[in-house]
Amino acid sequence: MSVNTRTKLKLDVWKGDWGLPSIDLDCLRFMTYIKFSGLELEVNATSNPFWAPDGKLPVLRLNTKNITKYEDLVQYITSRDSNPDHGLSNKQQGEIEAFTSLMKEKLYPALQYVCWIDAKNSNGVIRPWYSKAIPFPFSFYYPGQMATNAQEMITTLYENIELDKDIEAKVYSDAQKCLTTLSVRLGDNDFMFGAHPTSIDATMFAFLAPLLKAPLQNVSLQNHLKACPNLHHFVSRINQRYYSKDYYDYENKRKEEAKSQQHKDSEFPHKTRNQLLAVLFAAIAMFSYALHAGIVEREPIEGDHFTQEDPYSHEGED
């Protein structure tokens, strides 16, 4: 017998940003799969994995147990007769497994590299974000641990490649090929298997959305994703349809910031001119006052005073 589908699920996740309900891949995958299942979801953006059973987010908190693994989530959702993959053929199920494996093997290492190993992105965007999001004092531990885990994974996967630049080239090459493959398979469809989303769409969104939306400083892989317009539209479609508040709140914020910056830029030359004139007038006024009050005395210019020769001074010299 299935459980009441009206029961609201409670999920602890990393908080969202950049128009996304969460910036974390695993959290996005949980959230989106549950959304596609049609079940109600209550999200707790804790951004603190310390209290999680496995020390990681997400955590689906049930009355009798906690779920932290995606496979267990799928099993639970299926037990509630809400699996979005219901009705798919064996061939389609096989495609889900194949494309999921492809993303895990080729795209996931690149995402870790982009976020935690690339110095510009790690130091300029990702680590500061996590340091700010995680409560004190855990903020001193988790970002460093995440970076260490990413480095260890890349080192293990590419242990036969000696030079860092060659590792980077291989990581990016594999990821770009993966993105291109996903783009070709998606084609003009809204979702992988047509008009309705399934688990593979939840997985794709989770992998692609943070890469597309993060304000990265090294945008090499991000630009390749943007060069696949159907993948770009795929992410935006799910973002707007299922997470509309996060999407539009962020877009409105960006518009307001752009408008404010434009206003500042338009004021800049006039404001600078007025400030310079004000300083100049103030300096003139202060100097005039000082001169008038005798605080500053005007020194005579050489040649201002001279002695005129007495015309009678040479009388009697003859």
Rounded Cα distance between 126 and 215, Å, is 9
| Tens digits of residue pLDDT in 153-177 | 999 999 999 999 999 999 999 999 9
pLDDT tops 50 at residue 104: yes
Average pLDDT for 299-314 = 51
Beta bridge partner(s), residue 43: 11
CATH number for the domain running over 9-242: 1.20.1050.130
| Tens digits of residue pLDDT in 188-202 | 999 999 999 999 999
pLDDT range class, residue 267, cuts 50, 70, 90: low
Rounded Cα distance between 104 and 178, Å, is 10
Average pLDDT for 228-256 = 96
Predicted confidence at residue 234, as pLDDT, reads: 99
Please say whether the beta carbons of 14 and 25 come within 8 A: no
Taking alpha carbons only, the member of 218, 25, 186, 200 closest to residue 114 is: 218
Bigger pLDDT: 271 or 79?
79
Predicted confidence at residue 2, as pLDDT, reads: 45
pLDDT tops 80 at residue 92: yes
Q: Among all chains, which residue has been given the structure tokens 């009206």?
A: 6
Q: Among all chains, which residue has been given the structure tokens 């799928």?
A: 74
In sequence order, what are the residues at sequence separation of 6 or more whose Cβ sits closer than 8 angstroms to the Cβ of residue 19? 213, 239, 243, 246, 247, 249, 250, 251
Residue 193 DSSP class: T
pLDDT tops 70 at residue 227: yes
Please say whether the beta carbons of 203 and 27 come within 8 A: no
Rounded Cα distance between 133 and 282, Å, is 47
Token digits for 32? 């989106």
| Tens digits of residue pLDDT in 17-62 | 999 999 999 999 999 999 999 999 999 999 999 999 999 999 999 9
Please say whether the beta carbons of 36 and 198 come within 8 A: yes
Rounded Cα distance between 14 and 130, Å, is 9
Beta bridge partner(s), residue 156: none
pLDDT range class, residue 71, cuts 50, 70, 90: very high
Q: pTM score, two decimals?
A: 0.82
How many CA atoms does the CB half-sphere of 226 hold within 13 Å?
A: 11
Rounded Cα distance between 137 and 191, Å, is 42
Cα→Cα distances 255→239, 249, 275, Å: 18, 10, 29
pLDDT tops 50 at residue 318: no
Predicted confidence at residue 282, as pLDDT, reads: 78
Q: Among all chains, which residue has been given the structure tokens 């943007």?
A: 226
Predicted confidence at residue 302, as pLDDT, reads: 55
SS3 content of the chain, % helix, strand, coil (to 5): 60, 5, 30
| Tens digits of residue pLDDT in 268-305 | 566 777 788 878 887 787 777 766 776 656 555 555 54
